[in-house]
Structures are given as structure tokens and as C-alpha cells.
Structure 1
Amino acid sequence: MRAFISPKSIIRTFFVVLMALATASCGFHLRGNYMLPDDIAKLSLTSFDQYGQLHRQVKSQFQLHGIEPVAPSSRVPNLHLISESTGERTLSLYQNARAAEYELTYTVRYRIVVPEKGSQTYTTRVNRTFLDNPLTALAKSVERDMIEQEMREQAAKQIMRQLARLTAIFNQMEEQELEALLEQNTDNDERVSTELGLDVKADSAAADPAARQDNQAESAQ
């Protein structure tokens, strides 16, 4: 029996091949769920607490997305976890005015440094709600610990998403620096042209007595 290939199947195959070629040509590789630039195929990780849970969460994300952790060096990109903090605010109250529901906010500050391109500092936040039941104090403590652990995992994933946007961010920085340099050069060229024009006019007036008299008459007026 002769196999039948539909035009729709051919178009779908062509589209997949085209996307794969485009991805390979722009310097990205699929690692895990994100498209990470080649600049961070090897990445050093430093933090305020290298034995803390956040450090371990980010390092596990490295393994998940195919990033090779290396020792810190001036020649390799670095991800530095600056700080973490947890805050809360009351969302609702019981009838006895005791807090019934909280909103927990987990905040992480970190810095990304790429050699010869620059550095950027970011802040990521994760919010969760938490019910405070006074009748189950032990269970409440365990539940809160679990929520905070989930927030750390979510923060680590957000850091990976930020890493995936590194190329676009640094390209934009380079374009802004180039535009500023071009504007500065344009201003310098205009200033030099103006100075040269004044010098030429002054030389012409000095060489031509009639022009010098005209200039003196204009100055007297």
C-alpha cells in the first residue's frame, strides 16, 4: 500500500526544521524549559550563604537546564545571590481581631556579571497566602515551612527566566552605549566645525583690509 503524505504534514515538518535552524543560528540552545544563551553555558554561582536552601535550589536549576557550574573566575559569567528575605502582611481577621490570613512575600536580590558585557542587579518576589489556624499550631508551622520552600523553588525558576533574557538585555545596553557615543561624536564634530568656521572668517578678515574695515564698521554699529 502506498503511503500518503498530506500537504499539512509537509508544511509542519518544514516549519519545525526552519525554527530549529533559526534557533541554532542565533546562538541559543534549548536547555530545560528555557532558551539560554551560549554565554552562560558555564556559570559560577556565589551567594551570601553557600550552604543555604536557596543556593541549593539555584544549583539544582543549573543541572536541570544543562548549565555547568564552575569555580568563580574573571573569565566566566557569575550569578551572585545577594540576599533573601521573607515578609508578611495581614489579609483578614477572625472575630476576635486575631489575624486569620497572611500574605507571605519572599524576596531575593541577585547580580549577574558577564565578562566584557557588564553586570545587572535584579530583585525577584514571590507571593503566597497562608491561613493561620490557632487550633493547629504544629501543623501551621510545618505548612509555613513548606510554603517558604515552594517560594524558594519559584524564585530559583524566575532567576533562570531572567538568565534566558540576558542576551537581549546586554544587546540593548550595547546599543544605548553606541548611541550615546555617536551623539557625543556628533556634538564634537559640530563644535570643531564651528570653531574652524570662526577661524576661517577671522583669517579672511585679516587678509582683506576692506573686509577688516567692514567688520570694524559692523562692530561700531
Structure 2
Amino acid sequence: MKSLFPALSFKLVIALLITSTLSACGFHLRSAYLVPEEISEISVTSFDPYSKLTRDVESQLRMNDVRITAPSENIVNLHLISENISTRTLSLYQNSSAAEKEILYTAKARMVIPEIGEKTFSTSVNRNYLDNPQTALAKSTEKELLQDEMRAQAASQIIRQMARLRAELQETKPAVSDDTARN
């Protein structure tokens, strides 16, 4: 029985050490992207309302409990301005055909907040892939899958950029003085 306590206390000390280290460094488990509470409903307009990017952004908003409504003067509007996909060659085969390529996906969005103003966001995602001319069909399918993955990541980044609006929204809230609160 005496040998059980030192092992138990050693494990307890290690657990407390790990817990205090993690809490001291500011580590937090990631949950929602912290879309400001003031943005409980939003209208989404887009250069193409049926595009994959628009669907991905709307899905991300719903996951963050933001209700999507029709555009109105007193509703926050997220306007997806554009998306662009470009490629460049990174390396060549001996016969001068492209061996490795980079795909760059760029999306732009504008957030219009009534009585506050507007902010424009830009996000870009890049991926590299090998381009083997002998497997052209498989590579075109891989390229499409990469582009879809990049659109989904860009949608997540747009939502994260909305989280930066929290400070600006809190600055513009009318301050309630102590005299007003007592009355």
C-alpha cells in the first residue's frame, strides 16, 4: 500500500504541471470563429449566387449560428466580390513540359455594416501539385478537387476575418453612463 502513493502522487504532479503549463501559455481549444454577436443575421450577395464559394460561405455562416436573410438597409451585408484561380509552373521535366505547378486561389469580399461603414477582405490559398502528362485525366480531377478544397478554406478564412470586426463593433456601441443606468 505504501508503494501506491508515490506513483499516484507522481502522476498527479505531472498532470498538474501539464495543466498549469497549458493554461499559462494561453492555449484554448478552438470552437466557433467568434462571429460578433451583433451579427446574428446577415445578407449574402455574390458575383455568382450559385457558385461553390457562395455556398461554402453560407454554410460556414450557418455553422456559426448566423441567420441568412434578404438584403435590407439595416442588415449587415457580406458581398462576395470576386474569385480568381491562377497557376504557375514551379519546375520542368527534361522535355520542357511542366512537372510541378502551383495553384493560387484568391477571393475578395466586402462587409457593409449599417451606420459603421464597410471593410474589404482578401484571402488567398495556394497549393502545389505534380503534373504528369501520362495521367492527364487523373490530374484534371485532382486539380478540381484541390480547387474545391481551396474554396472551402477561403470561405473559412473569410469567416475568421469577420471575427476581427468584433473590436470595431464594440468601439461604436453607445456607452451607457452610470447616471443613465441608475434611472
TM range, smaller chain = 0.7 to 0.9
What CA RMSD, in Å, does the superposition of the two structures yield over aligned residues?
2.3
Corresponding residue SS for 1:39: coil
| Larger deviation, residues 162-171 vs 86-95 | 162-171
Residue equivalent to 2:158: 159
Residue equivalent to 1:85: 84
Matched, 1:50 2:45: no
Structure with greater contact order relative to length (CA < 8 Å, sep ≥ 6)? 2
Q: Which has the larger radius of gyration?
A: 1
Kept in 2, the 8 Å contact 1:32–1:64? The answer is: no
Residue equivalent to 2:109: 110
**Cα distance, 1:169 vs structure 2:** 4.1
The two structures have a TM-score, normalised by structure 2, of: 0.75
Kept in 2, the 8 Å contact 1:118–1:170? The answer is: no
Q: Which whole-Å deviations, capped at 9, do the CAs of 1:125-157 have from their partners, x for residues lacking one?
A: 001112111011110110000000000000000
* Counterpart code for 2:67: E
What aligned pairs does 1:1-221 form with structure 2 within 5 A after superposition? Answer: 33-169=32-168
The two structures have a TM-score, normalised by structure 1, of: 0.62
CA distance in 2, matches of 1:65, 1:133: 40
Q: How many residues align?
A: 148
5+ unaligned residues in a row in structure 2: which ranges?
1-11, 20-29, 173-183
CA distance in 2, matches of 1:67, 1:91: 41
CA distance in 1, matches of 2:113, 2:41: 11
Q: Which whole-Å deviations, capped at 9, do the CAs of 1:94-147 have from their partners, x for residues lacking one?
A: 111111111110000110011111101111100111211101111011000000
* Counterpart code for 1:129: N
Kept in 2, the 8 Å contact 1:103–1:129? The answer is: yes
Corresponding residue SS for 2:62: helix
**Cα distance, 1:170 vs structure 2:** 5.1
Distance 1:142 1:109, change over 3 A: same
CA distance in 2, matches of 1:105, 1:169: 31
Kept in 2, the 8 Å contact 1:39–1:77? The answer is: no
**Cα distance, 1:33 vs structure 2:** 2.2
